[in-house]
Amino acid sequence: MAHTELFPPIEPYNHGTLPLDGIHTMYWEQSGNPEGIPVLFLHGGPGAGATPGHRRFFDPAHYRIVIFDQRGAGRSTPLGEIKDNTTTLLITDIEKLRHHLGIKQWLIFGGSWGSTLALVYGEAHPERCLGFVLRGIFLCRPSEIHWFLYGLQNIFPEVWHEFVSRLSIDEQRDILTSYYRLLIHPDPDIHLPAAKAWSRYEGSCSTLLPNPDTVDYFSSNTVALGLAKIEAHYFKNNIFLPENSLLDNVHKIRHLPGVIVQGRYDAVCPIVSAYDLHLAWPQAEYIVVNDAGHSAWELGIQAELIKATEKFRQIL
């Protein structure tokens, strides 16, 4: 019978910080088996940061679990910094970490924005990838960003109206620019409430059924400050990549094994993006969880992600 439950909590066997440039410093950690299969966990957002729970998707007896917080996120410093924070630089950071840890190849695991970054990294460095476990696919197309900012009102009208309530009717015509202006304001009395409102909005829409714990997590200062500001920064810049670049370049990783896990009722990253990736990459296993939304912690998605890591444990 396949293992489908989270593995027990573990602590890192080592961790540290890695200077990236004159501004940014990356937090990283390793847990599990130092001689095991290397796996890189890519957190969502951009800007959300990783948590101790993310170690639990992998059998610690068999995996060397590498987790880091991306520029401006979580325990990396400075928190919420958008200067010199681009997709290309994140890929450079991943390679810097790989060299620092002496890893030749690794399995790539990412959900939501983590799936985006996994695809960008894989398409840039396919020779460094053993395979992919992807969840809640986000291809960062203009239609997906527009859906996040406007389309969600069709499913979560109460939450959406709360989200835009701090904006005038005129400002609501361009939510992204209006929120970005608030988020980059130097006064914490202006940018922190805006960050919490943005992050709470995303957290409230992330599960099929209401989950106060998820909303509380997204509402914490660290998550909100990193997530909202960096997300708005990346959205305003169309994630610093040509439009449709992820699908246009997926041929570079088609030869590698992949598993795509998607909640049928994912409102934050609607299933059409996962389906489009499936059509472009039919060699990857495509799994739809019919009783789930976006969050990796929903039981059906959690189970399929763990089954996927167990499958790779057998084949790598």
The answer to whether 132 touches 258, Cβ cutoff 8 Å, is: yes
At 84 the pLDDT is 98
Catalytic residue among 31, 76, 112, 199: 112
Percentage of the chain modeled with pLDDT above 70 = 100
Please say if 294 is a catalytic residue.
Answer: yes
The predicted-structure confidence for 207-241, as pLDDT tens digits, reads as follows 999 999 999 999 899 899 999 999 999 999 999 99
The predicted-structure confidence for 146-191, as pLDDT tens digits, reads as follows 999 999 999 999 999 999 999 999 999 999 999 999 999 999 999 9
The answer to whether 226 touches 80, Cβ cutoff 8 Å, is: yes
The answer to whether 232 touches 183, Cβ cutoff 8 Å, is: yes
pLDDT mean across residues, the chain: 97
Strand order, beta sheet including 25-32: 14-19, 25-32, 63-68, 37-42, 106-111, 129-135, 258-263, 285-289
Own/partner contacts of 300-303, CB < 8 Å, gap of 24 or more, are 300/263, 301/135, 301/136, 301/261, 301/263, 302/4, 302/6, 302/57, 303/4, 303/5
Residue 2 scores a pLDDT above 90? no
The predicted-structure confidence for 29-73, as pLDDT tens digits, reads as follows 999 999 999 999 999 999 999 999 999 999 999 999 999 999 999
Please say if 178 is a catalytic residue.
Answer: no
The answer to whether 180 touches 132, Cβ cutoff 8 Å, is: no
Q: Please state the three-class secondary structure of 126-150 as a single string.
A: HHHEEEEEEECCCCCCHHHHHHHHC
The CA distance from 15 to 12, in Å, is 7
pLDDT band at 3 (very low <50, low <70, confident <90, very high): confident
Residue 1 scores a pLDDT above 70? no
Catalytic residue among 266, 273, 278, 295: 266
- Mean pLDDT value across residues 23-27: 98
- Mean pLDDT value across residues 304-311: 98
Q: Where do the structural domains in the chain lie, given as residue ranges?
A: 14-141+240-315, 143-238
Please say if 112 is a catalytic residue.
Answer: yes
Q: What 3-state DSSP class applies to 205?
A: coil
**Domain 14-141+240-315 sits in which CATH superfamily?**
Alpha/Beta hydrolase fold, catalytic domain (3.40.50.1820)
The predicted-structure confidence for 76-132, as pLDDT tens digits, reads as follows 999 999 999 999 999 999 999 999 999 999 999 999 999 999 999 999 999 999 999
At 240 the pLDDT is 95
